[in-house]
Structure 1
Amino acid sequence: MDRMSPLDAAFLQLEDAQPGASLAIGSIAVFEGPPPARDDVRAALAGRLPLIPRYRQRARQVPLDLGPPVWTDARDFALDDHLRTATLPAPGGDRELTGLMGAIMSTRLDRSRPLWEYWLVDGLAGDRWALVSKVHHCMVDGVSGTDLYRVVFDPTPEPGPGVPDGWRPEPEPSAAGLALLAARDLALLPAVQVRAVAGAVRHPASLARAAAATARGAAGLATALRPTGASSLTGPLSAERRFAVARGTVADVSAVRHRLGGTFNDVVMAAVTAGLRSLLLDRGERPTRHRIRSLVPVDVRAPGEAAIRDNRVSCMLADLPVDVADPGARLAAVRELFRELKAEHEAEAGAVLVRLAGLEPFPVLAPGLRLVWHLPQRTITTVTTDVRGPAEPLYALGRRCVEILPYVPIASRLRVGVAVFTYAGQLALGLTGDADTASDVDRLARGIEVGLAELVALAAAGSPDVPGAP
């Protein structure tokens, strides 16, 4: 039995606070060649289950919120409950595939079972098929979810052997047993807090540096929490989702970065900013300054924690310069924005706050988490995740994966979300929209593609007038 971290538990609390909302992350892996038989996919997955213990555990709430939710072995686990099939209607293109993805991700995962499922999808145009992955956010974040690809798929066309499986489920504790264990942990919490403080004071120089960085970051986060301008991108959500995809190449982004300056992320975020600006204009809204603030998750895994699959993220809050019309000036503004955010140590401060939450009594944290989700907020407009996927091709049952399309959930009052993913030289952006109020996410996708194309053209022009360009 494992206990959830406060951050993992928060994703369950957020889902509970919004009737109908699904907080699952996902992706579409598209493969070339004829689709395999369901039994072959099932056998391949069964051979990898020992490498993913969470896939055979269910989330259990502790009575009275005496402790965080826990993971316990699902004694009635059946792989067939988690592998589903679907056939796309003709012609099997992007419209049909993204429509299916929106429908799949609109439905909550069954809390009585392990919180994941895969969908084997055939009927794709061009002699292709797909595997849709859907995993609750309390289990993984974007980085750790990417690591699952390397476990489930193969690095070569030759299928890897299955792993010997000696799994025997542990007895599931009763509700009373969970409550007693949580009460014991609460009684021991003061000793844990003392040890944490003692460990910190043994390294005063490191403690002072960390405290200073945290203070600067906390101040930056507090400043960033001022309300944004009103926008149709925030407000009440339905339970249904729409999905769209924008595409580019790693080579194009790298060319822009080397010619115009900035990081890979700066270039992508400038394209996302262009897309959001275009979407606002299409809706008849002025893209003014401080209109769009994006929550940008940041991986905070320490060295040696790469294989940890729970949530290890903090965040930055970025006021995207949608008011800047010129592509070169927009890229320069994005570059300066993220330079300042990194200098303010917002992500480090957020990581410290999350770690400190782990030392607080959960009965105190849980009501606060629920209250936060119910409070009206105008401080964040969207979320933009950016994950680097495998640089080399992956394979499933001997078939090459040609692209991976990411999905990020939306909740609270955020009607649009952006997921950025790189794989084998390809750049894919998955755009999630609320079905009632942001069904036009395909316009956002086209705006992002146009924004990236503008930067590519600017870089190829030879002497771009971009502030700060090398």
Structure 2
Amino acid sequence: MDRLSPVDSAFLLAEDEDPAVSLAIASVAILRGPAPSLRELAKLFSDRVPAIPRLRQKVRTVPLDLRPPAWIDDHHFDITRHIHKAVLAPHGDDAALCELVGEIMSERLDRDRPLWDAWLIDGLPDNTWALLIKVHHCMADGVSGSHLYNVLCHGDPQIGPVSPTEAVNAFRSMMLAVAELASSPTAQAHVLGRMVRMPLTFTRRLARTVQGLLSYGSSLLPTARSSLVGPIGSRRSYGIARSSLSTVHSVARVFHVTVNDVVLAAITGAYRTLLLKRGEQPVADAVRSAVPVSVRPDSTEHTLSNQISAMLPMLPVDIEDPVERLAAVHSRLSRLKSGQQSAAGVTMTSMVPDEFFAPVAWIVRLMARLPQRSVVTVTTNVPGPPRPLRLLGREIIEIFPYVPIALRLRTAVSVLTYADNLAFGVTADRDTTPDVDLMAQAIEQEITELVAASHDTASARV
């Protein structure tokens, strides 16, 4: 039985508790060449879906959260229900595309179907069009999500389709288990009894989990009050920013930091700009970010699931100088890495057996309802396809990422590399954050300033 992991399940649970939230991730690929027909796109997905069985499976939950949800085959799967088309006004620009992306991502995916959709978006200028692929976060993280392009563009012989016999057996096992739990008080009592009579080995594992939680320590303290955190609505707005990977690499080399440090420093500077424009003081404890960290082994590179942990650095928005701000970001991330904060997150999620899932699920549901102020934003950085790709004979020019917001977070920033492109996607709550474009423009400006500073520094060393 293929059950969701605690991390995968958490995205479903959090979405359940907030009617304003749609927890789907997405990518928006821009392609050069005439747009294909909807039939051509549907055939492409139909041909490639067998390589990723998860795309034709839906989620089945268990009453009272007594077990984690499980994936079951959708025997009424219809590819045409997942392929859509939208047309922008003639020669639609980035603003028109972002407006449409915000509208599409505001809508929840249908839980009665496999949790993904694809949108063909026509009407872009210069003989280009877009493909938006939307996947529920319980199904994939950014790393596994980007693997979809490898399958769509080239196929992947390393991933084979599930045989009919395996699919039927999995379906029967799942339905029997669900029916037993739903209708049998004895079965439910058995599960609850196993939870109560946990062996000593799990008690020890639970103790290690608590120790891991303590490693987050001060990272769970409330941040300073600001307009960046608060109740959110159901509508989303979206903005994009661009840079090049080689440009950011050059900055990183000059200042002896990582590419991720430069990216996060640019985002930090953009949040500083946003607060100042709003007339708010960017104090030292104003912006703490959840920074997802992939813990995916190479052996699971092609597996659709979430294999992530997180670090929780405080972004140094109080520092005015961009180079000093970059140094502070580098220092803080290095300190968190050496403190094994992301490893603690792995411990917390991996030490939960199925028998203990119910209380964990109830805690997640409760926390999703509480007005938290510990984390202000999410900033993700995902490596995408390293080489240029073609889809249906059309060149993919660039790919923009989308990350959802929830838990009173009014903004989030996702970053995706593709070949030499470095693309930023800014997600915002439409009702409370009308200045999403300001945020996107500020990211580009911050990178420009860091590039100029790196040239000055390099020249001074000669």
Instruction: State yes or no: 1:315 paired with 2:310.
Output: yes
> Per-residue deviation at 1:177?
3.4
Checking the alignment, whether the CA contact within 8 Å between 2:53 and 2:161 is kept in structure 1 is no
Distance 1:272 1:193, change over 3 A: farther
Identity %: 44
Distance (whole Å) between structure 2 residues aligned to residue 457 and residue 75 of structure 1 = 57
**Residue identity matched to 1:255:** S
Distance 1:48 1:189, change over 3 A: farther
> Per-residue deviation at 1:249?
0.3
Distance (whole Å) between structure 1 residues aligned to residue 59 and residue 443 of structure 2 = 38
Tell me the SS of whatever aligns to 1:153: helix
Distance (whole Å) between structure 1 residues aligned to residue 202 and residue 64 of structure 2 = 27
Distance 1:238 1:154, change over 3 A: same
**Residue identity matched to 2:269:** A
Tell me the SS of whatever aligns to 2:216: helix
**Residue identity matched to 1:295:** A
Equivalence for 1:120: 120
> Per-residue deviation at 1:73?
0.9
Checking the alignment, whether the CA contact within 8 Å between 1:214 and 1:349 is kept in structure 2 is no
Distance (whole Å) between structure 2 residues aligned to residue 4 and residue 183 of structure 1 = 22
Match of 2:237 among 238, 242, 257: 242
TM score, norm. by length of structure 2: 0.91
- Structure with the higher fraction of residues in helix conformation: 2
**Residue identity matched to 1:446:** Q
Match of 1:293 among 268, 288, 303: 288
Distance 1:120 1:182, change over 3 A: farther
Equivalence for 1:206: none
**Residue-by-residue CA offset, 1:57-111 (whole Å, 9 max, x unaligned):** 1111112222111111111110001000110113311001111100000000011
> Per-residue deviation at 1:343?
1.2
Checking the alignment, whether the CA contact within 8 Å between 2:192 and 2:355 is kept in structure 1 is no
Checking the alignment, whether the CA contact within 8 Å between 2:67 and 2:358 is kept in structure 1 is yes
Equivalence for 2:23: 23
Tell me the SS of whatever aligns to 1:231: coil
Distance (whole Å) between structure 1 residues aligned to residue 240 and residue 146 of structure 2 = 18
Checking the alignment, whether the CA contact within 8 Å between 2:66 and 2:355 is kept in structure 1 is no
Distance (whole Å) between structure 1 residues aligned to residue 403 and residue 356 of structure 2 = 30
Equivalence for 2:374: 379
Equivalence for 1:105: 105
Distance (whole Å) between structure 2 residues aligned to residue 185 and residue 423 of structure 1 = 46
> Per-residue deviation at 1:194?
6.6
Equivalence for 1:88: 88
Distance (whole Å) between structure 1 residues aligned to residue 115 and residue 373 of structure 2 = 31
Matches within 5 A, 1:50-65: 50-65=50-65
Distance (whole Å) between structure 2 residues aligned to residue 313 and residue 104 of structure 1 = 26
Tell me the SS of whatever aligns to 2:426: strand
Equivalence for 1:457: 452
Tell me the SS of whatever aligns to 2:427: strand
Tell me the SS of whatever aligns to 2:297: coil
Distance 1:191 1:214, change over 3 A: closer
Equivalence for 1:177: 180
Distance 1:191 1:146, change over 3 A: farther
Checking the alignment, whether the CA contact within 8 Å between 2:20 and 2:232 is kept in structure 1 is no
Distance (whole Å) between structure 1 residues aligned to residue 283 and residue 28 of structure 2 = 35
Equivalence for 1:203: none
Equivalence for 1:231: 226
Checking the alignment, whether the CA contact within 8 Å between 2:378 and 2:413 is kept in structure 1 is yes
Distance 1:355 1:464, change over 3 A: farther
Once structures 1 and 2 are overlaid, which stretch shifts more, 307-316 or 449-458? 307-316
Tell me the SS of whatever aligns to 1:140: coil
Equivalence for 2:352: 357
> Per-residue deviation at 1:223?
1.6
Distance (whole Å) between structure 2 residues aligned to residue 191 and residue 135 of structure 1 = 38
> Per-residue deviation at 1:39?
1.2
Distance 1:431 1:464, change over 3 A: farther
Tell me the SS of whatever aligns to 1:319: coil
Equivalence for 2:36: 36
Distance (whole Å) between structure 2 residues aligned to residue 413 and residue 90 of structure 1 = 36
Checking the alignment, whether the CA contact within 8 Å between 1:277 and 1:287 is kept in structure 2 is yes
Equivalence for 1:3: 3
Matches within 5 A, 1:375-414: 375-414=370-409
Equivalence for 1:368: 363
> Per-residue deviation at 1:396?
0.7
Tell me the SS of whatever aligns to 1:461: helix
**Residue identity matched to 1:59:** V
Equivalence for 1:75: 75
**Residue-by-residue CA offset, 1:35-63 (whole Å, 9 max, x unaligned):** 11111111111111111111111111112
- Could you tell me which runs of 5 or more consecutive residues in structure 1 were left unpaired when the two chains were aligned: 201-209
Distance (whole Å) between structure 1 residues aligned to residue 346 and residue 445 of structure 2 = 35
C-alpha RMSD of matched pairs (Å): 2.7
Distance (whole Å) between structure 2 residues aligned to residue 165 and residue 133 of structure 1 = 23
TM score, norm. by length of structure 1: 0.90
Checking the alignment, whether the CA contact within 8 Å between 1:321 and 1:333 is kept in structure 2 is yes
> Per-residue deviation at 1:302?
2.9
- Could you tell me which runs of 5 or more consecutive residues in structure 2 were left unpaired when the two chains were aligned: none
Equivalence for 2:262: 267
